[in-house]
């Protein structure tokens, strides 16, 4: 079957039609004419794989990664960067309209990443034994199949070098066969830091010999274990110092993260007497910048590790009008509503699943402004629809290209109380 790819979907696949039925083609690009084979027929739509490229899109490029198309980390290395940005703008607009029913707002132009490759400061790797040797790599897209790698073109230089050295060191020893859950590697642009993550319930002590072997092999002390002794590092965002460890989440693109934070500060438009609630606050990267401009900020995150790091960063920056609470966000909102707390601005940066369960509580707190940071357009559109039903008007939305070469889209949305 031959098909013309018309556009790209969230998830990375190309979209074409066969006798009116939508067909999702993994690896297809707008303008491609492809010979495809249907792999799944879902009734209203189908999924297909490419058998041959009859006529390539003019926007096709040569991917840099030798395992592109197998590894699940990137979907669009074969697409020009300008076309990636255009596709992400279109996907966000279409998703807001289709899921959120939002047609009455102009989406801002996407903020591009200064670095199209070599931008990623944090990666998570699998490690496993195969044919008598330990290997490291990523999972194949939508699969448990693992793809061995010796480097990663989208990773920052220190991370890429560490992947290569870890791969080499682990492949040379058969002494440590206990399974690891994963490896976390992060860079602060000076050094790379590694955490070994053991399976749930495993005694971390039996992995210490592996950690010690890697320290000696790589010639570094910056290797630790989750739940034991993790290497702590510091980095700077817009002039403020932050602390983190490899097992705690931070944005992987420092340059775009700074641009997003600048925009958030601008849209917050804080006065010195205003109170801010920062939900899913992580290591406090938004909380501390907002506290420099507000009367009081409360950051809430379920991770005790993240909260302790936030508090350390606040002390390092001599910021005293911020407090952090290590609570599940849902419970904190319930208690806050019960106490009748007053909030002028709510910032929320939820996980991919969104924040539907707390939106009603946020509305009961009656903030004048809400800023929603999202990494998932479908759940963002769903949650924005609900916030509009709860009495808030979406006045601004801007996408950020936090993850070039992938379909992922980071967005910032500003809502005002009607």
Q: What is the pLDDT of residue 403?
A: 98
Can you tell me which residue has the tokens 């490896």?
183
> Could you give the residue range(s) of every CATH 2.40.50.140 domain in the chain?
2-60
The rounded distance, in Å, linking the Cα atoms of 402 and 410 is: 6
% of the chain with per-residue pLDDT over 70: 99
Q: Which residue ranges does the chain devote to CATH 2.40.50.1070?
A: 122-225
Report, as an integer, the average pLDDT of 235-257.
95
Using CB atoms within 10 A of its CB, is residue 223 exposed (0-12), middle (13-18) or buried (19+)?
A: buried
Mean per-residue pLDDT, 253-269: 98
**What is the average pLDDT across 68-89?**
95
Band of pLDDT at residue 175, cut at 50, 70 and 90: low
| CA distance between the termini of the chain | 52
CATH classification code of 97-113+252-417: 3.40.50.150
Q: Is the pLDDT of residue 394 over 90?
A: yes
How far is the C-alpha of 325 from the C-alpha of 69, rounded, in Å?
42
The overall average pLDDT reported for the chain is 94
Strand partners, 340: none
Quote the pTM value.
Answer: 0.94
- Locus of tokens 């279109």: 90
403-414 average pLDDT score = 98
The answer to whether domain 2-60 has CATH 2.60.120.10 is no
| Residue 177: band (very low, low, confident or very high) from pLDDT cuts 50, 70, 90 | low
122-225 has which CATH code? 2.40.50.1070
Residue 171: its pLDDT value, please? Answer: 86
Active site residues: 375
Residue 62 has pLDDT above 90, yes or no: yes
Give the model's pLDDT for residue 104: 86
Residue with more model confidence, 230 or 331: 331
Q: How far is Cα 351 from Cα 373, in angstroms, rounded to an integer?
A: 10
- For the chain, where do the domains classified as CATH 3.40.50.150 start and end? 97-113+252-417
**What whole-number distance in Å separates Cα of residue 231 and Cα of residue 250?**
15
- Contacts of 49-54 with CB under 8 Å at 24 or more apart are 49/25, 50/25, 50/26, 54/2
Number of neighbours of residue 321 by Cβ within 10 angstroms: 14
> What pLDDT was estimated at residue 55?
98
Task: Please report the pLDDT score of residue 32 as a whole number.
Answer: 97
The DSSP code sequence of 135-172 is EEEEEBTTSS-EEE-S--TTB-HHHHHHHHHHHHHHHT
Mean pLDDT of 183-187: 95
pLDDT digits (tens, 9 = 90+) for 265-323: 999 999 999 999 999 999 999 999 999 999 999 999 999 999 999 999 999 999 999 99
The better pLDDT of the pair 6, 175 is held by: 6
CA angle 357, 360, 362 (to 5 degrees): 100
- 217-239 pLDDT, tens digit per residue, is 999 999 998 877 889 999 999 99
């Amino acid at each position: 079957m031959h098909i013309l790819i018309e556009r790209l979907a969230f998830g990375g696949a190309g979209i074409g039609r066969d006798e009116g039925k939508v067909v999702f083609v993994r690896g297809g690009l707008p303008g491609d004419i492809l010979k495809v084979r249907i792999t799944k027929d879902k009734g209203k739509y189908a999924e297909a794989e490419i058998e041959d490229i009859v006529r390539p899109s003019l926007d096709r490029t040569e991917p840099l990664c030798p395992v592109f198309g197998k590894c699940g980390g990137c979907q669009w290395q074969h697409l020009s960067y300008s076309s990636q940005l255009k596709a992400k703008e279109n996907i966000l607009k279409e998703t807001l309209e289709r899921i959120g029913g939002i047609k009455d707002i102009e989406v801002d132009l996407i903020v591009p990443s200064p670095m199209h490759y070599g931008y990623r400061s944090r990666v998570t790797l699998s490690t496993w034994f195969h044919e008598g040797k330990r290997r490291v790599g990523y999972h194949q897209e939508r699969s448990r199949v693992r793809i061995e790698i010796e480097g990663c073109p989208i990773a920052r230089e220190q991370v890429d070098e560490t992947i290569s050295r870890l791969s080499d060191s682990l492949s040379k020893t058969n002494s440590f066969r206990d399974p690891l859950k994963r490896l976390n590697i992060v860079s602060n642009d000076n050094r790379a830091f590694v955490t070994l993550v053991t399976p749930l319930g495993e005694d971390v002590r039996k992995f210490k010999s592996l950690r010690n072997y890697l320290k000696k092999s790589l010639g570094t002390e910056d290797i630790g274990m989750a739940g034991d002794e993790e290497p702590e590092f510091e980095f700077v965002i817009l002039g403020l110092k932050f602390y983190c460890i490899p097992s705690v989440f931070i944005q992987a693109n420092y340059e775009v993260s700074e641009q997003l934070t600048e925009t958030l500060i601008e849209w917050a438009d804080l006065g010195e007497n205003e109170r801010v609630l920062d939900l899913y606050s992580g290591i406090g990267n938004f909380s501390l910048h907002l506290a420099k401009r507000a009367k009081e900020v409360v950051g809430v995150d379920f991770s005790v590790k993240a909260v302790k790091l936030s508090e350390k960063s606040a002390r390092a920056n001599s910021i005293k009008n911020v407090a952090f609470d290590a609570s599940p966000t849902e419970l904190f909102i319930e208690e806050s509503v019960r106490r009748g707390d007053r909030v002028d601005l709510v910032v929320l940066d939820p996980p991919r699943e969104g924040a539907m369960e707390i939106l009603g509580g946020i509305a009961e707190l009656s903030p004048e402004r809400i800023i929603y940071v999202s990494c998932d357009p479908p759940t963002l559109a769903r949650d924005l629809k609900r916030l509009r039903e709860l009495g808030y008007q979406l006045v601004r939305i801007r996408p950020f290209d936090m993850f070039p070469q992938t379909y992922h889209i980071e967005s910032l949305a500003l809502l005002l109380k009607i």
